[in-house]
């Protein structure tokens, strides 16, 4: 993990008078945008899950979960779902969550850094997650900085320069940088979609 203040040098040439705290805030937000659109920060962890909590808190610092891609409990596959999906699949599940444990079927994110299982069950859980920097993160993954530090710096500068009524504002340059960042995110998201499609095609059975 790399400290966000280590990439301030990508921001200051474009917004030299920007307060450091604001620059770091906007660098963090840009990194969050990138992780949401590109889904490139993935992590697999194994945790021992015990009752009655039946949940695992991710060990990765400065991170929160975007989605759960895959989960297993004691080698048995669980279905990753959102709370909304679980509400549809198991109406009233939250009322039953505190009831007697059963055989877990779902992995669900109830908090930003927590994976819970339902019905409640215990054992060894392995989970693969898509992550992004947390709300107060001061560090980001090395690969994000190595690959995107210039783009992150320009994105942060764009937000700084388009702040209304700010002394450092430069609306024309800021708007151009914001537009450039939107195009970058679109390109990253498109590349991720193509990667997913290629993966599905490779994994599709062939009958020839």
The Cα–Cα gap between 188 and 184 comes to 6
Q: What is the predicted pLDDT for the residue at 99? A: 63
Q: What is the predicted pLDDT for the residue at 188? A: 87
Each residue of 5-28: pLDDT tens digit?
A: 999 999 999 999 899 999 999 999
From 67, 174, 53, select the one nearest 112 (Cα to Cα). 67
Omega before residue 18 within 30° of 0, cis: no
Q: What is the predicted pLDDT for the residue at 196? A: 63
For range 152-178, the mean pLDDT: 92
Q: What is the predicted pLDDT for the residue at 206? A: 37
The Cα–Cα gap between 94 and 6 comes to 43
Is-contact 165 21, C-beta < 8 A?
no
C-beta atoms surrounding 57 within 10 Å: 11
Each residue of 60-82: pLDDT tens digit?
A: 999 999 999 999 999 999 999 99
The pTM (predicted TM-score) of the whole model is 0.83
Whose structure tokens read 């549809």?
88
Confidence band for 97, pLDDT divided at 50, 70 and 90 = low
Examine the pLDDT at 98 and tell me if it is beyond 80: no
Q: What is the predicted pLDDT for the residue at 198? A: 59
- Its sign, for the CA torsion 186, 178, 35, 88, is negative
Q: What is the predicted pLDDT for the residue at 8? A: 95
pLDDT, averaged across the chain? 88
Q: What is the predicted pLDDT for the residue at 42? A: 94
Q: Domain segments of the chain: what residues? A: 2-39+141-197, 42-132
The Cα–Cα gap between 169 and 177 comes to 13
Which range among 27-36, 51-60, 71-80 shows the weakest confidence by mean pLDDT? 51-60
Length of the chain: 208
The Cα–Cα gap between 70 and 126 comes to 8
The Cα–Cα gap between 101 and 121 comes to 6
SS3 151: helix
For range 103-132, the mean pLDDT: 91
Examine the pLDDT at 202 and tell me if it is beyond 60: no
């Amino acid at each position: 993990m790399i400290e966000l203040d280590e990439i301030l040098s990508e921001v200051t040439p474009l917004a030299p008078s920007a307060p450091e705290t604001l620059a770091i805030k906007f660098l963090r937000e840009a990194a969050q945008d990138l992780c949401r659109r590109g889904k490139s920060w993935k992590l697999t962890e194994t945790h021992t899950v015990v009752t009655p909590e039946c949940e695992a808190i991710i060990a990765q610092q400065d991170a929160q979960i975007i989605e759960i891609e895959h989960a297993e409990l004691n080698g048995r596959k669980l279905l990753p779902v959102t709370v909304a999906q679980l509400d549809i699949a198991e109406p009233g599940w939250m009322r039953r969550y505190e009831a007697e444990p059963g055989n877990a079927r779902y992995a669900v994110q109830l908090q930003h850094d927590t994976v819970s299982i339902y019905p409640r069950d215990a054992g060894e859980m392995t989970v693969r997650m898509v992550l992004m920097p947390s709300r107060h993160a001061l560090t980001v993954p090395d690969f994000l900085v190595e690959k995107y530090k210039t783009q992150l710096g320009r994105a942060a500068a764009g937000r700084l320069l388009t702040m209304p009524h700010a002394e450092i504002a430069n609306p024309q340059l800021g708007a151009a940088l914001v537009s450039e960042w939107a195009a970058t995110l679109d390109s990253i998201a498109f590349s991720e979609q193509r990667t997913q499609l290629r993966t599905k095609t490779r994994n599709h059975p062939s009958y020839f």
